[in-house]
Chain A
Amino acid sequence: MAAESPPGYRLLGGRIPYVEGPLKVAGRAEYTDDIRRSGQLVGKVLRSVWPHARLRSIDTRAAAAEPGVFAVLTGDRYPTPFGVLPITRDETALAVDKTRYIGDIVAAVAAVDERTAERALAKIRVDVEPLPEYADPATGLTRVEEPIHARGLNGSNIQKEVVQHFGDVDAAFARAAHTVRVRATYAGVTHAFTEPLVTIADATPDGRLTVWSATQVPHYLHRALSEVLGIPMHRIRVIKPEVGGGFGGKSDPLPHEIVCAALSIAAGRPVKMLLDREDVFYTNHGRHPTKNDVRIAADADGQLLAYDIDTVIDGGAWSSFGTVTTYYNGVLAMGPYRVPNFRYRGRRVYTTKPPSGAMRAHGGTNIRYSVEVGLDQLAEQLHVDPFDLRVANALPPNSKTVNEFLITSTSFVKCLSAVRAASDWDRKFRRLPYGEGVGLGCGFYISGSNSPIHFTPKMPQSTVHLKADMDGGIAVHSMQADIGQGSNTLLAAIVAEVLGVDLDRVHVQGVDTDVSPVDLGSYSSRVTFMMGNAARAAAEQLRAQVVHGAAQLLGVPDDAVEVAHERLRVRSEPARGVAFLEALHRAMEPVGALVATGSYQTSPRGGSFKGARAGTAPAYSFSAYVAQTTVDVETGEIAVGKIWAAFDCGRALNRLAVEGQIEGSIHMGLGQLLGESMNYRASRLLNPSLLEYKVLAPQQMPDVEVLLVGDDDPEGPFGAKEAGEGPLVATLPAVGNALYDAIGCRFTDLPITPEKVVRALDQRRQEGRPWKGR
């Protein structure tokens, strides 16, 4: 199936179709909502209609008396707080004492069918005392009348404040020949995965609980269920069926998952809870609405001297990943350039709105746009080409940022060269007709986090188990969670590559905490790097056993045997060999089925100052994108014609999947730039549907030319780094800067709607600032 493998590897580096593709195109892939347990009830929740209110009483008697209702639940039953970060557990499964946003879960029922459940919910009487609404994070920066959470900083609604200073920023600005400033506003956006949130829970009389859920991180769900429900983890089994997209939105343990399990415990029956699309929007955990203020200083030669950044982030009702978000909005401004002085203040503020959380290129997207637009302004001030400015400031391989990120491999300069040539930049920049333009945007992103969110940090980040039995098949178990990005395919390909066998011998098993070893799942772009290394280690261990079997059959020492395609042979006499199956069977004679395990743990990295762990990764991806864009100067409509995407993910192990990640990232990044927005009137979300929340249509998607130029990373599996989130970040500034080249207007209020374009054009005309002679 695979083709175009570079020399040295049979499968890896080629285009490997997704192993579960045939099931998906036939409608035979099984997602959570496709599962039905006998006797299954329907779980439904009652959501708060108040942005902020103290719960005086909840009367559920009439609901419980409704025929067909098996369980009714309120927050007092399970008040233990949880949260994805152990340091900020401030969420509860159902509201306890007060509700914190319109959409907070107040009560839940399990009933024989949906209609009965809804009838019961309608009979629940909730008596509340309204509390002050805090829709705007700016109103929560100082002491407030009723903090949304008691843990708000000094009686305010600040969930997290980060202050960092490296070098001497004031001195750098004092001696700077050039400074630029970008003050930008970003609307909140959400993941809009196609599969709604859904969970099935089955509490059985043996005291066990089985949960099927659409989750990216089965392990965190496992842990949160145990904490809140008070059941030891070993009596809970979490199964992840196929997941219909996540993009970060299924990485927190979510309240409905716990509520569903609690309902099953109360009812003694399996319960399915399928959230409707509106509830998915209220659950949110999308990208934070953000305001940032970025100042950049450079010397007369265009060497960057300093960044000075201040950011206010709208967190919504809960912490979620917010402490990480707050750090990332500063520290992910650092690469791919050398910035010797850096100051950052970031504040994430609770508001009475749906919680924000992690969304693809979490924490690195909004700040990236501001920085890259600033660098475009700086290049203009300096009268240098934007490419030359970036080349002059690029971090070299094996260097450190001022905040002690270790950059091992970087092909950033190669990305710049490749995209400059492919896009024909030098003939286009500032030379296209009025209304047309090209722009450059660059980025970097973490390839996993060095410090996992883990209850026992000394355990590996990823573990992979293999079993080879007499059928010659190799079963693979891992809790890495394929959510569509192709990690099952990569896992199978790595095992097949190491063992020299065909891909169809390798069967990646579903995620099931009873049998799969812990892996921290699909977030922070960690899977290829960490699972890949674990899979390689496990496969090498299995290979050694099969090699030993072959050596015995061939009458040579183990180290004289090498692996070929479906065959093991004597290295010095390639014609002498045995089939893989023969060698496997020989190796099995003394022990039966062969088993092997491999794991990966990050090596120590990063500084020792407070917050040093945030953004410290075992490797970083790099990108340089050029966008070519046309603006209709009458209507303000923007058409992005083409994006040239040069990306350094080290060695691309499955080019088909890497292209897919880049194309999908561009779609999502353009959506945020050009139209997606969670719109609010005060705290009320106005557009909780896919009709009113505008995801880009196929016709709005540009041509994409992918340029994969990465050199092998020293620590990545087979030289690979991440390609799941990093490909998003350069998209926005590439187009933003292309708009400037097209019409001479800077946009710092996202999304950039046609109305804003028309207004900007009008303003430029009124100010008498011609652009390209117009």
Chain B
Amino acid sequence: MVSDAPIRFRLNGVPVAVPCEDARVLLDVLREDLQLTGTKRGCDLGTCGCCTVLVDGRPTLSCLTLGRFAEGRDVTTIEGIGPASALSALQQAFVAHGATQCGFCTPGFVMTATALLTEHPHPSRAEIERAISGNLCRCTGYRKIVEAIQAAADGTA
């Protein structure tokens, strides 16, 4: 029995209701149905982290998460980070430290790091590296990403 009854959840602070088939993944709901394209599709297999969003504050691979899982929960995407038309301190640190190159992985890293800094406002380098180890970046060698997260945590961005 396939259902496409709407799912209801808070998306970037705003309540939404979206029709969703049982087998539809959250990434498709966000990118295709809601046209929030900041969340990237890199592999569809949970191996690259580009599709990371926050579900109830936890970094979540939206390509491996059914849309129905969002029912009643708080979903934050890259579009919901920072004040309107401005950047969060973490995002500013990514810019200042050159932590973006091609930028395709960047939204996923920002989501993961946002969750990390909420939970551990002053992480060690090892904690940062562990936290981002599910996000693949092929451009930077991770050094400038780690520096940016550290700088945001230290308030020195």
Say yes or no: B98 contacts A245, CB within 8 Å. no
Q: Which residues of B contact A276 (CB under 8 A)?
A: 43-44
Neighbour of B45 across the interface among A27, A31, A277, CB < 8 A: A277
Return A485 CB to nearest CB of chain B, in Å.
Answer: 7
Query: Beyond A18-B100, A22-B87, A27-B79, is A277–B44 a contact (Cβ under 8 Å)?
Result: yes
Say yes or no: A691 contacts B47, CB within 8 Å. yes
- B139 within 8 A of partner (CB): yes
Q: Which residues of B contact A194 (CB under 8 A)?
A: 40, 42, 48, 50, 102, 104-105, 136-138
Say yes or no: A193 contacts B79, CB within 8 Å. no
- Please classify how large the interface on chain A is, using the bins under 10, 10 to 19, 20 to 34, 35 or more: 35 or more
* Residue with the highest number of chain A CB atoms closer than 10 Å, among B40, B92, B101: B101
Neighbour of A698 across the interface among B48, B103, B107, B142, CB < 8 A: B142
Return A7 CB to nearest CB of chain B, in Å.
Answer: 23
- B140 within 8 A of partner (CB): yes
Q: Which residues of A contact B142 (CB under 8 A)?
A: 663, 667, 698, 701
Say yes or no: A704 contacts B141, CB within 8 Å. yes
Say yes or no: A664 contacts B37, CB within 8 Å. no
Which parts of A1-54 form the interface with B (CB within 8 Å)? 15, 17-18, 20-31, 33-34, 36
Neighbour of B102 across the interface among A193, A665, A695, CB < 8 A: A193
- B39 within 8 A of partner (CB): yes
- A306 within 8 A of partner (CB): no
- B74 within 8 A of partner (CB): no
Neighbour of A25 across the interface among B42, B91, B130, B143, CB < 8 A: B91
Say yes or no: B143 contacts A663, CB within 8 Å. yes
- A572 within 8 A of partner (CB): no
Say yes or no: B129 contacts A698, CB within 8 Å. yes
Say yes or no: A663 contacts B47, CB within 8 Å. no
Q: How far is B102's CA from A123's CA once the two chains are assembled, in angstroms?
A: 39
Say yes or no: A195 contacts B101, CB within 8 Å. no
Say yes or no: A666 contacts B141, CB within 8 Å. yes
* Residue with the highest number of chain A CB atoms closer than 10 Å, among B39, B41, B107, B137: B41
- A635 within 8 A of partner (CB): no
- A242 within 8 A of partner (CB): yes
- A192 within 8 A of partner (CB): yes
Instruction: Closest B residue to A242 by CB, please name it.
Output: B103
Comparing A130-138, A232-240, A582-590, A654-662, the segment that makes contact with chain B is: A654-662
Q: How far is B40's CA from A244's CA once the two chains are assembled, in angstroms?
A: 10
Instruction: Closest B residue to A30 by CB, please name it.
Output: B37
- A437 within 8 A of partner (CB): no
Say yes or no: B103 contacts A484, CB within 8 Å. yes
Q: Which residues of A contact B97 (CB under 8 A)?
A: 656
Q: Which residues of B contact A666 (CB under 8 A)?
A: 141
Say yes or no: B38 contacts A27, CB within 8 Å. yes
Neighbour of A21 across the interface among B40, B45, B100, CB < 8 A: B100
Q: How far is B140's CA from A656's CA once the two chains are assembled, in angstroms?
A: 11
Return B119 CB to nearest CB of chain A, in Å.
Answer: 18
- B94 within 8 A of partner (CB): yes
Q: How far is B140's CA from A28's CA once the two chains are assembled, in angstroms?
A: 20
Counting residue pairs across A and B whose Cβ atoms lie within 8 Å, the total is 176
Return B90 CB to nearest CB of chain A, in Å.
Answer: 8
Neighbour of B101 across the interface among A196, A660, A691, CB < 8 A: A660
Neighbour of A690 across the interface among B47, B101, B128, CB < 8 A: B47
Q: How far is B104's CA from A161's CA once the two chains are assembled, in angstroms?
A: 39
Say yes or no: A21 contacts B94, CB within 8 Å. yes
Which parts of A660-708 form the interface with B (CB within 8 Å)? 660, 663-668, 689-691, 695, 697-699, 701, 703-704
- B132 within 8 A of partner (CB): yes
Query: Beyond A25-B95, A484-B101, A664-B139, is A196–B87 a contact (Cβ under 8 Å)?
Result: no
Query: Beyond A31-B104, A660-B144, A689-B43, is A26–B78 a contact (Cβ under 8 Å)?
Result: yes
Q: How far is B144's CA from A656's CA once the two chains are assembled, in angstroms?
A: 10
Which parts of A130-179 form the interface with B (CB within 8 Å)? none
- B16 within 8 A of partner (CB): no
Neighbour of A244 across the interface among B95, B98, B102, B145, CB < 8 A: B102
Say yes or no: B79 contacts A663, CB within 8 Å. no
Which parts of A262-308 form the interface with B (CB within 8 Å)? 274, 276-277
Interface size on B, residues (CB 8 A): 52
Neighbour of A17 across the interface among B40, B95, B110, B137, CB < 8 A: B95
Q: How far is B110's CA from A742's CA once the two chains are assembled, in angstroms?
A: 38
Q: How far is B32's CA from A274's CA once the two chains are assembled, in angstroms?
A: 13
Neighbour of B104 across the interface among A21, A26, A195, A660, CB < 8 A: A195
* Residue with the highest number of chain B CB atoms closer than 10 Å, among A24, A247, A485, A656: A24
Q: Which residues of A contact B143 (CB under 8 A)?
A: 663, 701, 703-704
Return B50 CB to nearest CB of chain A, in Å.
Answer: 6
Q: How far is B87's CA from A274's CA once the two chains are assembled, in angstroms?
A: 30
Q: Which residues of A contact B130 (CB under 8 A)?
A: 699
Neighbour of B42 across the interface among A29, A196, A483, A656, CB < 8 A: A196
- A191 within 8 A of partner (CB): yes
Q: How far is B44's CA from A196's CA once the two chains are assembled, in angstroms?
A: 10
- B60 within 8 A of partner (CB): no
- A486 within 8 A of partner (CB): yes
Return A513 CB to nearest CB of chain B, in Å.
Answer: 21
Say yes or no: A690 contacts B78, CB within 8 Å. no
Q: Which residues of A contact B35 (CB under 8 A)?
A: 36
Chain A 66-85: CB-based contact to B (< 8 A → 1; otherwise 0): 00000000000000000000
Instruction: Closest A residue to B145 by CB, please name it.
Output: A698
Instruction: Closest B residue to A21 by CB, please name it.
Output: B95
Q: Which residues of B contact A28 (CB under 8 A)?
A: 38
Q: How far is B100's CA from A277's CA once the two chains are assembled, in angstroms?
A: 22
- A349 within 8 A of partner (CB): no
Say yes or no: A695 contacts B136, CB within 8 Å. yes
Return B115 CB to nearest CB of chain A, in Å.
Answer: 16
Chain A 103-125: CB-based contact to B (< 8 A → 1; otherwise 0): 00000000000000000000000
- B150 within 8 A of partner (CB): no
Q: Which residues of B contact A664 (CB under 8 A)?
A: 101, 138-141
Say yes or no: B38 contacts A26, CB within 8 Å. yes
Q: How far is B104's CA from A196's CA once the two chains are assembled, in angstroms?
A: 10
Return A355 CB to nearest CB of chain B, in Å.
Answer: 20
Return B109 CB to nearest CB of chain A, in Å.
Answer: 9
Say yes or no: A193 contacts B106, CB within 8 Å. no
Which parts of A549-568 form the interface with B (CB within 8 Å)? none
Neighbour of B140 across the interface among A15, A30, A191, A660, CB < 8 A: A660
Say yes or no: B43 contacts A690, CB within 8 Å. yes
Say yes or no: B144 contacts A192, CB within 8 Å. no
Q: Which residues of B contact A22 (CB under 8 A)?
A: 87, 91, 95
Q: Which residues of B contact A243 (CB under 8 A)?
A: 102
Q: Which residues of B contact A484 (CB under 8 A)?
A: 100-104, 139
Say yes or no: B138 contacts A247, CB within 8 Å. yes
Q: How far is B31's CA from A274's CA once the two chains are assembled, in angstroms?
A: 14
Instruction: Closest A residue to B111 by CB, please name it.
Output: A27
- B96 within 8 A of partner (CB): yes
Say yes or no: A24 contacts B41, CB within 8 Å. no
Report 13 cross-chain contacts, Cβ distance below 8 Å, ordered by A residue. A24-B103, A36-B35, A192-B136, A193-B104, A194-B105, A245-B101, A276-B43, A277-B47, A486-B101, A667-B140, A689-B43, A690-B43, A690-B136
Q: Besides A196-B43, A277-B47, A663-B142, 9 other CB < 8 A contacts?
A: A27-B39, A27-B107, A33-B41, A191-B138, A245-B102, A274-B41, A656-B97, A699-B133, A704-B141
Going nearest first, the 8 A-B pairs with the smallest beta carbon separation are: A27-B38, A484-B102, A244-B104, A24-B103, A27-B78, A667-B141, A663-B141, A34-B37
Please list the residues of chain B having a beta carbon within 8 angstroms of any beta carbon in chain A: 35, 37-45, 47-48, 50, 77-79, 81-82, 87, 91-92, 94-98, 100-107, 110, 126, 128-130, 132-133, 136-146
